[in-house]
């Protein structure tokens, strides 16, 4: 998220409201601006230009991986929906509070949610459904054999 957030440089909602200058607003699809450089050199905190995407919402959206818990724990089998609803609820709560605090716009939390879903889907594909990839990666970092068996 920070790989995108820092160079994107979109002004936070609270900064626009506090200054009363609506010209500081930029649409979410426009990356970078000379405004950020100018205002930071004038003494404005660079943190006021880290609006998109929301790191807090992206981290909360990673909790949606809880849908995998029933595959790892027999007591949770059949409760996939409950795991998903709980994690979606947490993500919505975090997203709404970030907007309410003025740290982000709706587009900021939506983009971060989509990034987290994409990265999670890729991670599930590579680490959960592809034992060969997982075992090769495991071999790079762990001295003991990989816990997953490869399909023959």
The pLDDT value given to residue 115: 92
The rounded distance, in Å, linking the Cα atoms of 102 and 143 is 47
* Chain segment 117-141, per-residue pLDDT in tens: 898 888 888 877 887 887 787 778 8
Among 23-32, 81-90, 121-130, name the one with the lowest average pLDDT: 121-130
Q: Which residues contact 122 (CB under 8 A, 6 or more apart)?
A: none
Q: Which of 12, 8, 7, 33 is nearest to 105 (CA)?
A: 12
Could you tell me the pLDDT band of residue 148, with boundaries at 50, 70 and 90? low
Could you tell me the pLDDT band of residue 72, with boundaries at 50, 70 and 90? confident
The rounded distance, in Å, linking the Cα atoms of 58 and 54 is 6
* Chain segment 3-24, per-residue pLDDT in tens: 888 888 899 999 999 999 998 9
pTM score of the predicted model:
0.76
The average confidence (pLDDT) of the chain is 86
- Rounded to the nearest 10°, the torsion over CA 45, 49, 54, 55 is -50
Could you tell me the pLDDT band of residue 152, with boundaries at 50, 70 and 90? very low
Residue 112 has pLDDT above 70, yes or no: yes
Averaged pLDDT, 44-73:
86
């Amino acid at each position: 998220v920070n790989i995108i957030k820092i160079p994107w440089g979109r002004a936070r909602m609270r900064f626009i409201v506090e200054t009363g200058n609506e010209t500081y607003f930029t649409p979410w699809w426009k990356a970078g601006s000379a405004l950020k450089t100018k205002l930071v050199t004038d003494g404005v905190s660079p943190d006021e230009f880290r609006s998109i995407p929301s790191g807090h919402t992206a981290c909360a959206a990673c909790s949606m991986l809880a849908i995998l818990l029933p595959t790892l724990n027999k007591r949770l089998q059949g409760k996939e929906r409950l795991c998903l609803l709980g994690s979606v609820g947490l993500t919505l709560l975090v997203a709404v509070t970030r907007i309410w605090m003025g740290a982000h716009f709706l587009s900021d939390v939506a983009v971060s949610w989509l990034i987290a879903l994409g990265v999670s889907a890729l991670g599930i594909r590579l680490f959960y459904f592809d034992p060969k990839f997982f075992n090769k990666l495991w071999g790079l970092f762990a001295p003991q054999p990989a816990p997953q068996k490869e399909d023959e």
